Amino acid sequence: MFDEAAEPTLAYAERQDRADGLARFREAFYLKPGTVYMDGNSLGLLSKPAERTFLEALEDWKEYGIDGWTRGRHPWFALSERLGGMMAGLVGADADEVIVTGSATVNLHQLVATFYRPHGARTKLLADELNFPSDLYALQSQLAVRGFDPDGSLVCVKSPDGRFLDEDAIIEAMTEEIALIVLPSVLYRSGQLLDMERLTADARRRGIPIGFDCCHSVGAVPHAFDAWGVDFAFWCSYKHLNGGPGCPGGLYVNRRHLGTRPGLAGWFGSRKDRQFDMASSLTPAESAGAYQIGTPHVLSLAPLIGALGLVGEAGIEAIRRKSLGLTRYLMGLIGQELAGFGFRIGSPVEDARRGGHVGLEHDEAARICKALKERGNVPDFRAPNMIRLAPAALYTSYREVWDVVQVLRDIMEKQAFKAYPNERDIVA
């Protein structure tokens, strides 16, 4: 079940920290004294390189004005393509298959508008009931604008326990009625990591395009989209990639689909040498850049230049190893230190099935989260009963994991959580 080498002791944490090859990256982040930040799966912390490249973009605007599109430290005109190239290695793709643009939901709309091609009996979309609600809203609206009833045309695979998805059940739902499949790589509540390679292989055998929402995996888990044959994927950049609030997301389109006309057209999807022809007909880029819609949000993109530099320097394989070590240690501590307090681990214990966070269930979860924050420990809450704890490989130490669990134990022993209402804040 748990790795026996991950001893649930303080001495183990201290040994791991001394041997940690990624420990030096802590100094690159703005860590608030007296606070242990365990919410990197919602919003990663600001790094000094991200701050620097943001300020450089401001200087380019100040110095060059409109000429910043082609001059300066980080010329804006091809910045989305440059960042796509920096992200490509994280997802197992070539640079021209990835573009940094839009938000996750806008990119989902773009990709569904492109790849959803109902015909004959194949008219339905396949998703799951545990997916992030924004994805379901987008899929429902895409069906509605095509004239289909979302209630009947969106097939959502049921969870057997409210935590996890059964991949056999997903494959069974890949029927001759399904025109397109959109699934999460990692479930946002429980942290379950789906077997994308297996699901893609089964979808392709049935002739059904498949794409993945990778918001909770890119930057924490290595991917091999090209090798797996994934049709498309999309993700955000402000969680494990530490790009900052509102940082544009990314999307991937497999090479075999490059040249497919985007479902939603906009002038930044133009071939670069034709964009300023101002022609009334679009000449799409021959890369994933074709799936851009509007002008890039340059000042929101700029921190990602520095943030991705850190991720690239650390290496996604090393990040994954430490992430698994931290979450494995965290679960071991929970089992030892919090036994008898009513907690349940709501995440997979197997490394191959777990993303970058641990879901801790408790009937008093909302108020426990408030008590944790009051004590300088930042988790987040997901209804109805989930405390999510995300130790980030680049800036979380094993000692901090130990400390958070000790604070949790103290809160429960003293019943300090009872000072707070058991309800979420407006922003959870």
Please list the pLDDT of the chain residue by residue as tens digits (428 residues).
Answer: 334 468 999 999 999 999 999 999 999 999 999 999 999 999 999 999 999 999 999 999 999 999 999 999 999 999 999 999 999 999 999 999 999 999 999 999 999 999 999 999 999 999 999 999 999 999 999 999 999 999 999 999 999 999 999 999 999 999 999 999 999 999 999 999 999 999 999 999 999 999 999 999 999 999 999 999 999 999 999 999 999 999 999 999 999 999 999 999 999 999 999 999 999 999 999 999 999 999 999 999 999 999 999 999 999 999 999 999 999 999 999 999 999 999 999 999 999 999 999 999 999 999 999 999 999 999 999 999 999 999 999 999 999 999 999 999 999 999 999 999 999 888 87
Read off the tokens for 298. Answer: 């340059």
CA distance 7 to 4: 6
CB contact at 8 A, 20 and 325: no
Q: Which contiguous run of DSSP H or E holds residue 185?
A: none
CA distance 124 to 155: 7
Domains of the chain: 10-30+315-419 (3.90.1150.10), 51-313 (3.40.640.10)
For 257-389, list the strands marked E by DSSP. 344-345, 358-361, 377-378, 380-382, 386-389
pLDDT of residue 258: 98
408-417 CB contacts, 8 Å cutoff, 24+ apart:
408/337, 408/338, 408/368, 408/372, 409/337, 409/338, 409/341, 411/368, 411/371, 411/372, 411/375, 412/338, 412/341, 412/368, 416/371, 417/364, 417/367, 417/368, 417/370, 417/371
Would you say the pTM of this structure is higher than 0.85? yes
Read off the tokens for 323. Answer: 């992430």
CA distance 213 to 387: 22
CB contact at 8 A, 356 and 41: yes
CA distance 392 to 335: 21
pLDDT of residue 209: 98
Length of the chain: 428
Q: Is 229 left (phi over 0), alpha (psi -120 to 50) or beta?
A: left
Binding residues for pyridoxal 5'-phosphate: 105, 132-135, 213, 216, 238, 267, 295
pLDDT of residue 4: 46
pLDDT of residue 1: 34
- Residue identified by tokens 């890369």 is 287
How far from the centroid of its chain's Cα atoms is residue 171's Cα? 23
